[in-house]
């Protein structure tokens, strides 16, 4: 995913309120976490771009995780162009774990790596990213899955899993040792969570597991990103009483058999909403994702939305809190 592509990169339920600011934040594949009064946003970029905000609207770039990608990334993925994909951020056992993906378009010769930090405050003397190297990789002549789009999830019993995957045979899960952030077993025992069925090229990726009211919700993105205003990405979800599944959609169809309830899809000048994260933020839950902005030539920008939970416990996307594209008014003759 090159910088040129990121410029081209840019949900559908409720119109945004009139006071939403009209200044988009460029971003692709956002991951979010809060430390103190600051929200930190990590996204796809040459060294994993880091932004922060106190209001979810005005964001400032505060650096990157890497100045240059770790040496091992080029050795493991020869076609890697230096742009690190789809970071995921968590706070576990007193430190921040940032998983990231190294790959190239159209190939499942991919790897997921890990970097750690004691703090996210760039002014802290303890602030320093330590690369921990490769966590898991996939090879086209060996694996029917793809080691990209990582997300760390855990249950009430303290079992940790890395959820990942794209296209091929869908979304997978592998157990993680929380002390190291690496695989609990190597080679891992993979658990299959979701895949597309009878859909050309199996377009499913960007998993994110979120807990609510004692249940686990598996968000994924269906269809295609990275095509500007031609992107038809959309966010879908299923849920389970166990972290390891099975996950089913609102109609009871297993996600392992092609199920998935649509949460958000394109509308008006909002194209291809997807690759979401979610955040418990005090009394509210937030859905964080990118869109391709039709008013800016398909640029990928950030949207933050409240999650509205239905009476039967299914997530719905509320109006954007930070930015809603608005087409320019028609010229009057």
Do residues 25 and 329 touch, judged by C-beta distance below 8 A? Answer: no
Query: How far apart are alpha carbons 100 and 114 in whole angstroms?
Result: 6
Residue with tokens 């972290």: 243
Q: Where are the beta strands (DSSP E) in 21-170?
A: 31-35, 38-43, 49-53, 60-64, 85-92, 95-102, 110-117, 130-138, 151-154, 160-164
Give the tokens for residue 28. 């692709």
Catalytic member of 29, 88, 149, 249? 29
205 noted as active-site residue = yes
| Pairwise CA distance, residues 262 & 237, whole Å | 7
> Residue 112, Cβ neighbours under 10 Å: how many?
24
- The catalytically annotated residue of 76, 88, 131, 205 is 205
CB of 288 closer than 8 Å to CB of 45: no
Q: Which pairing describes strands 160-164 and 171-176: parallel, antiparallel, or unpaired?
A: antiparallel
Verify whether residue 29 is a known catalytic residue.
Answer: yes
Q: Which residues are catalytic?
A: 29, 205
């Amino acid at each position: 995913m090159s910088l040129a592509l990121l410029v081209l990169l840019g949900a559908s339920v409720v119109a945004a309120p009139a006071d939403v600011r009209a200044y988009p934040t460029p971003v692709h594949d956002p991951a979010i976490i809060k430390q103190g009064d600051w929200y930190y946003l990590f996204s796809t970029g040459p060294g994993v771009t880091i932004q922060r905000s106190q209001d979810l609207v005005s964001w400032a770039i505060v650096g990157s995780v890497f100045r240059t990608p770790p040496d091992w990334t080029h050795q493991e993925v020869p076609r890697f162009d230096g742009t690190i994909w789809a970071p995921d951020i968590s706070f576990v056992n007193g430190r921040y774990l940032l998983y990231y993906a190294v790959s190239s378009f159209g190939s499942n010769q991919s790897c997921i790596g890990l970097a750690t930090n004691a703090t996210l405050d760039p002014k802290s003397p303890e602030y320093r990213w330590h690369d921990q190297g490769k966590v898991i990789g996939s090879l086209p002549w060996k694996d029917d899955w793809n080691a990209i789009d990582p997300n760390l999830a855990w249950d009430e019993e303290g079992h940790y899993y890395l959820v990942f995957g794209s296209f091929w045979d869908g979304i997978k899960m592998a157990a993680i040792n929380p002390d190291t952030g690496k695989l609990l077993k190597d080679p891992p025992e993979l658990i299959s969570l979701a895949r597309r069925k009878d859909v050309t090229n199996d377009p499913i990726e960007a998993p994110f597991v979120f807990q609510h009211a004692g249940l686990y919700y598996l968000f994924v993105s269906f269809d295609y990103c990275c095509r500007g205003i031609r992107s038809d990405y959309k966010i879908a979800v299923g849920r389970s009483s166990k972290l390891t599944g099975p996950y089913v959609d609102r109609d009871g169809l297993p996600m392992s058999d092609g199920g998935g309830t649509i949460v958000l899809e394109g509308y008006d000048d909002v194209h291809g909403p997807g690759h979401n994260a979610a955040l418990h933020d005090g009394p509210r839950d937030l859905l964080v994702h990118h869109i391709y902005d039709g008013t800016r030539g398909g640029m990928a920008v950030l949207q933050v939305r409240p999650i509205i939970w239905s009476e039967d416990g299914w997530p719905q996307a509320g109006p954007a809190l930070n930015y809603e594209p608005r087409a320019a008014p028609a010229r009057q003759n």
